[in-house]
Chains A and B, each alone.
Chain A
């Protein structure tokens, strides 16, 4: 038994003086922070600098933040899910499904926007519940289970929409009752003449909530543990099933919200909407420091990953390059991020 009272407050001689920078370097999102700065200055230097039409201007910021928030709203739940050890490949197509459901209810069935919104949210919760329960009861990799959900929903979006309406998209959402107010909340712009999308603020709010849940709540501790070692978590009484299913439900419900936002913004929705975005969400989460193997990562990092991707997409336009180079950038950034993450993981896991 220790008799001394003070020693544990004294600095340990084995603990080298850790500066602010060294502390910062231990954060999972540090790579993406450097990435944001690097990509920003790359496009400032190639895209008309800080001039009023340049990438570095407020108008430029409004432009890239629009793209970034599109990905960021989903990158946060996808990151939490990935930290919890699972993937959701249906997250992209769910945006389309939810938008189509929303448009069909409001345009074809003349519902008011708000009850339709409520139904779409319930749809999101239900799909997430199905995904989560399928993964947990079959014990199959979520990669496969949600790939199946992805194809099912894609088939429904394209085939179902065409057989119901005879069209490949639903136009005229702006003619529905309650549209103007819903657009104000979900799809308007603020601060003219720059016109930042209000979605940017939704994205900031979701990032803040995601970060708070992950780092400051009991559920956050559970999320890390179910992704880190589900057996260990179960042994100490963590509700593994509940945690994972809730993560799937959060992901698909935010996809449903994104679908509604997109439909309100574009005033229509096409059958192929959202397809392919699921990988962008995953890339943003990985660039933000989430390990593909789970148990480690951050929510704010995922948003920074989304910012990098948004800056890349718009920056290429500002620089006057062929926009197809977007994919080349994505590939390079993803590779760099995975290499960096692997190094971080090795450091975090290595026994001394």
Chain B
């Protein structure tokens, strides 16, 4: 948690950030950081402040209080574009892809490689297809045909394409917003594998999820949010999976819920 100067600076770091919307405290005094080549999991139930934190990190919102540092420097992003320029890429749940367009068209959408001189300047299609095939293969993604429309990919494959796109376009920090939430067990496993692939390429990954079973196998550190506050930051070596599950569910609340449910199920029977 200690901010270090110079070369030892964290890739990105938030230091006691808070965000108020009017009189609603969405986030309060959150501190966290991520370095290249590590996965930090941000866990929390609905309403815990996960999406507010993402929006601060990705440049959509500015924190009301606290500092946001990139490479040890204070930053104030005014748009997601600013964040992207510093290498902070966010992969949202809706992925920003057009289902009826092919993989290579989607991959380069908005940043098309060009060749030739005006007025004959054109999209370098051959380069685009080859790059997509190569990049996806390096991520260990086995794509059948770059001409396939994105709509024909499975949910996990789409996440993978979005992740490799962000990495290809120079992301140093990858913020993944619930990438596994809409997926089945097997598909989620595939996405977790791609998260590790990105980490192995030196990218710092912030993995936002409400599922501790997805977070624990890939995370190096865990930040647990509850009702806008941090319940603490844990290193994996000092945390067991069931402990994480308990923390994440709000510990005592879960126990209370179990009692309540026990009451309901035994109720009509008696």
Residues of chain A touching chain B, judged by Cβ–Cβ distance below 8 Å, are 1-2, 7-8, 12, 14-15, 212, 216-218, 220-222, 224-225, 228-229, 231-233, 235-238, 291, 295-296, 345, 348-352
User: Are A228's CB and B140's CB within 8 A?
Assistant: no
Taking the nearest CB of chain B, how far is it from the CB of A311, in angstroms?
A: 29
User: Are B144's CB and A238's CB within 8 A?
Assistant: no
Chain A residues, CB < 8 A from B98? 224-225, 228-229, 232-233, 295
The reply to whether the CB of B149 lies closer than 8 angstroms to some CB of chain A is yes
User: How far apart sit A212 and B149, CA to CA, in the bound complex (Å)?
Assistant: 20
User: Are A349's CB and B138's CB within 8 A?
Assistant: no
Contact of A228 among B99, B108, B153 (CB under 8 A): B99
Q: Which of A2, A235, A291 has the most CB of B within 10 A?
A: A235
The reply to whether the CB of B145 lies closer than 8 angstroms to some CB of chain A is yes
**Chain B residue with Cβ nearest A8:** B137
User: How far apart sit A288 and B98, CA to CA, in the bound complex (Å)?
Assistant: 21
Chain B residues, CB < 8 A from A350? 151-152
B residues 131-183 with Cβ under 8 Å of A? 133-134, 137-138, 140, 142, 144-145, 149, 151-155
Q: Given the interface contacts A229-B98, A233-B98, A345-B100, does A218 sit within 8 Å of B125 by beta carbon?
A: no
Chain B residues, CB < 8 A from A14? 144
User: Are A8's CB and B133's CB within 8 A?
Assistant: yes
Contact of A352 among B138, B153, B201 (CB under 8 A): B153
**Chain A residue with Cβ nearest B169:** A236
**Chain B residue with Cβ nearest A348:** B149
User: How far apart sit A220 and B201, CA to CA, in the bound complex (Å)?
Assistant: 33
Chain B residues, CB < 8 A from A235? 80, 92, 96
User: Are B101's CB and A228's CB within 8 A?
Assistant: yes
User: Are B100's CB and A349's CB within 8 A?
Assistant: yes
User: How far apart sit A295 and B151, CA to CA, in the bound complex (Å)?
Assistant: 12
Partner-binding segment picked from B38-46, B110-118, B221-229, B257-265: B110-118
Chain B residues, CB < 8 A from A229? 96-99
Taking the nearest CB of chain A, how far is it from the CB of B18, in angstroms?
A: 27
Q: Given the interface contacts A218-B112, A236-B110, A237-B110, does A1 sit within 8 Å of B100 by beta carbon?
A: no
Chain B residues, CB < 8 A from A291? 100
Chain B residues, CB < 8 A from A225? 98, 101, 105, 109-110
Q: Which of A1, A15, A221, A349 has the most CB of B within 10 A?
A: A221
The reply to whether the CB of B94 lies closer than 8 angstroms to some CB of chain A is yes
User: How far apart sit A7 and B155, CA to CA, in the bound complex (Å)?
Assistant: 24
User: Are A349's CB and B149's CB within 8 A?
Assistant: yes
The reply to whether the CB of B65 lies closer than 8 angstroms to some CB of chain A is no
**Chain A residue with Cβ nearest B104:** A221
User: Are A352's CB and B152's CB within 8 A?
Assistant: yes
Q: Given the interface contacts A12-B144, A236-B110, does A349 sit within 8 Å of B99 by beta carbon?
A: yes
**Chain B residue with Cβ nearest A212:** B122
User: Are A218's CB and B145's CB within 8 A?
Assistant: no
User: Are A233's CB and B110's CB within 8 A?
Assistant: yes
**Chain B residue with Cβ nearest A5:** B137
User: Are B109's CB and A233's CB within 8 A?
Assistant: yes
User: Are A348's CB and B142's CB within 8 A?
Assistant: no
User: How far apart sit A30 and B28, CA to CA, in the bound complex (Å)?
Assistant: 58
User: How far apart sit A222 and B92, CA to CA, in the bound complex (Å)?
Assistant: 20
Taking the nearest CB of chain A, how far is it from the CB of B161, in angstroms?
A: 13
Chain A residues, CB < 8 A from B97? 229, 232
**Chain B residue with Cβ nearest A238:** B110
Q: Given the interface contacts A229-B98, A295-B100, A350-B152, does A2 sit within 8 Å of B140 by beta carbon?
A: yes
Chain B residues, CB < 8 A from A232? 94-98, 109
**Chain B residue with Cβ nearest A83:** B100
The reply to whether the CB of B123 lies closer than 8 angstroms to some CB of chain A is yes
User: How far apart sit A291 and B121, CA to CA, in the bound complex (Å)?
Assistant: 28
User: How far apart sit A15 and B146, CA to CA, in the bound complex (Å)?
Assistant: 12
The reply to whether the CB of B211 lies closer than 8 angstroms to some CB of chain A is no
The reply to whether the CB of B255 lies closer than 8 angstroms to some CB of chain A is no
Considering the complex of A and B, which 4 residue pairs feature the smallest CB-CB distances, nearest first? A228-B98, A236-B110, A349-B151, A237-B110
User: How far apart sit A236 and B107, CA to CA, in the bound complex (Å)?
Assistant: 10
Beyond A351-B151, A352-B153, 5 additional contacts (C-beta under 8 Å) are A217-B123, A218-B114, A221-B109, A236-B111, A237-B110
Chain A residues, CB < 8 A from B197? 1
Name 17 interchain pairs, CB-CB below 8 A, sorted by A.
A216-B123, A221-B112, A222-B109, A225-B110, A228-B98, A228-B99, A229-B96, A229-B97, A232-B109, A233-B110, A235-B80, A235-B96, A237-B111, A296-B100, A348-B99, A351-B155, A352-B154
Chain A residues, CB < 8 A from B242? none
User: Are B100's CB and A224's CB within 8 A?
Assistant: yes
Taking the nearest CB of chain A, how far is it from the CB of B2, in angstroms?
A: 32
User: Are A8's CB and B123's CB within 8 A?
Assistant: no
The reply to whether the CB of B243 lies closer than 8 angstroms to some CB of chain A is no
User: Are B101's CB and A224's CB within 8 A?
Assistant: yes
Taking the nearest CB of chain B, how far is it from the CB of A228, in angstroms?
A: 3
Taking the nearest CB of chain B, how far is it from the CB of A282, in angstroms?
A: 19
User: Are B138's CB and A217's CB within 8 A?
Assistant: no
The reply to whether the CB of B253 lies closer than 8 angstroms to some CB of chain A is no
Chain B residues, CB < 8 A from A2? 137-138, 140
Chain B residues, CB < 8 A from A212? 122
Chain A residues, CB < 8 A from B137? 2, 7-8
User: How far apart sit A1 and B109, CA to CA, in the bound complex (Å)?
Assistant: 26
Chain A residues, CB < 8 A from B140? 1-2
User: How far apart sit A1 and B167, CA to CA, in the bound complex (Å)?
Assistant: 14
Q: Which of B105, B109, B134, B144 has the most CB of A within 10 A?
A: B109
Taking the nearest CB of chain A, how far is it from the CB of B39, in angstroms?
A: 16
The reply to whether the CB of B200 lies closer than 8 angstroms to some CB of chain A is yes
User: Are A224's CB and B105's CB within 8 A?
Assistant: yes
Q: Given the interface contacts A225-B98, A225-B109, does A8 sit within 8 Å of B151 by beta carbon?
A: no
